[in-house]
Amino acid sequence: KTVYYYDVLDSTNNKARELPENSLVIAEEQIMGKGRLGRKWFSKKGGLYFSIALKPEMNLEDIPKLTLTSGVAVARALEEYQARLKWPNDVLINGKKVCGILSEIVGEIENFKVIVGIGINVENAVPDYATNLKNLNSEVNRAEILKDVIEQFTKYYKMLLSREWNKIRFEWLELSDTIGKFVEVKAGNRTYRGKAIDMDYDGGLIVETEEGTEKVFSGDCFYI
């Protein structure tokens, strides 16, 4: 509902923690941009860095679905670039990462908020394994991208809250870059290797390994 705009922040996810439900926080630059699994997210000027503070009427164990849903929303907003989804929630264009999503749960178990943080490479310089939108479209406009993402996010978030997760799940599968590929997923101290065959109703990745069919809920996923 309210948009908070900053030139510089440590992390838009951190700022969003203090703000009311449905706030949108944007920063031109982040000093301590956070990535998944404790990594740093490089956040130089020219990228799109924002977070949404939500108070979803959902069970805690369903929050991974919200992150997957956010991925679908971003991929839809970037449809003209043929964006695809890499489990759990990277957005790729031409096989390279263009967007990362970090959801954080804050507050008590009975009364929690979820911060969904989205970083999109637009005009910022990126390493070789990543790409930015400017490489693909010299006319790219950050305000327009943000508007499209928020529009899609609003649509899919409503769907999720109205128990249409399975519909979203099928869209995720349709946009998936991961299903059918051979993957190695590191989850805690376990490593799963095999063919990714499905993302199931719980949001877990189903991997056909030599030991049998395994379900992985989160982790670091590599293609092999």
> Which letter does DSSP use for residue 99 in this model?
E
Contact code string over 54-93 relative to ligand BTN, x by CB under 6 A: ------------------------------------x---
Q: Hey, CA dihedral for 219, 80, 148, 171, is it positive or negative?
A: negative
Q: Name the residue type at position 129.
A: Y
Please tell me whether residue 113 binds ligand BTN under the rule CB under 6 A.
no
- Phi then psi dihedrals of residue 2, to 5 deg: -110, 140
Rounded Cα gap, residues 125 and 132, in angstroms: 8
Contact call for residue 39 and ligand BTN (CB under 6 A) = yes
Could you tell me which stretch among 27-35, 123-131, 159-167, 207-215 binds ligand BTN (CB under 6 A)? Answer: 27-35
Give the shortest CB-26-to-ligand BTN separation in angstroms. 9
Candidates 45-53, 131-139, 154-162, 189-197; binding stretch for ligand BTN (CB under 6 A)? 45-53
Run of H or E residues at 152: helix 142-161
Tell me the window of 9-17, 66-74, 126-134, 189-197 that interacts with ligand BTN (CB under 6 A).
9-17
Place of tokens 């290797």: 193
